[in-house]
Structure 1
Amino acid sequence: MSSEPGPDLPFLPGYAFRDPMKTSFHRSQTLGYKNGFAFFRLPTVGIGGERLYVNQLSQAELDELADQRPLLTYGPPKQAPRSDFIPAHVAFDKKILKFDAYFQEDVYNSTEEQYRIRQVAIYYFLEDDSLTIIEPVVKKAGFLQGRLLRRHRVPKNDQGEPYHWKDLNRGMNITMYGRTYRIVDCDPFTQGFLESQGIELNPPEKIPLDPYTELHRTRMRKFITPSDFDQFKQFLIYDKQVLCFYAMWDDTNNMFGENRPFIIYYYLADDTVEVREVHKKNDGRDPFPVLIRRQRLPKTLVDNKNTFPSCVMETTDQEVLEWFTAKDFAVGKSTTLLGRTFFIYDCDEFTRNFYRDKFGITDFQPVEIKKKQPEEVPLVVPPYNGFGTLEDSLQNCFSLIPKPPRKDIIKMLENDQKVLRYEVVLETPNPEDRKRRFILSYSLSDDMISIYEPPSRNSGIIGGKYLRKTRVAKPGSTTDNATYYEPSDFTIGSTVEVFGHRFIITDADEYVLNYMESNAARFPAATLQSLRDHFRLRRVAKEPANSDIPSKPGLEELIAQVQEELKLHKYLNNKKIWEAFLQCDKDGCGILNKARFLTICDNLSVPTSAVLVSRLIDLCSCGEDNINYHDFLRAFPV
Structure 2
Amino acid sequence: MEGLPFLPGNSFRDPTKGKYHRAHTLSYRNGIATQKRPEIGIGGDALNYNNLSAAEIDELANFDPTLTYGQAKQAPPEDFLPGHVAWDKKVLRYYAYFKQTVHESPNEYYRVRPVDIYYYLEDDSIAVNEPHVENSGIPQGKLIKRQRLPKNDQGDNWHWKDINVGMNIVFYGKSFHIIGLDKFTRDFMESEGLEVNAPESLPKDPYIEKRIQATALKTYQSPSSFDKTRQFLELDRKVLRFYCIWDDRDSMFGEMRAFIVHFYLVDDTLEVREVHTANDGRDPFPVLIGRSKVPKDRHDVPTSYPAVVMELSNNEVKEYFTPKDFVIGCTVSLYGRRFLIYDCDNFTKSFYYHNFGVTEFNTVDVKDYVKDLPKMEIPPFNNMGSLEDSLQSCLSLVPQPPKKDFIKMLENDHKVLRFEAVMESMKPEDAGRRFIISYRLADDMMTIYEPPVRNSGIIGGKFLERTRVAKPRCDPDNLEYYGPQDMYIGALIEVFSHRFRIVSADEYVLKYMEDHSSKFPERTIQSLRDTVGATMKAKETIKGGPMKVKREPGDLENLVKQVRAQLKKIAITDKTRVDEMFLRYNSDRTGYIDANNMRDLCHRLQLPIDDDVLNCLVAECTADPEGKISLEDFRRFVESS
User: TM-score under structure 2 normalisation?
Assistant: 0.31
User: TM-score under structure 1 normalisation?
Assistant: 0.31
Indicate the structure (1 or 2) with the bigger Cα radius of gyration.
1
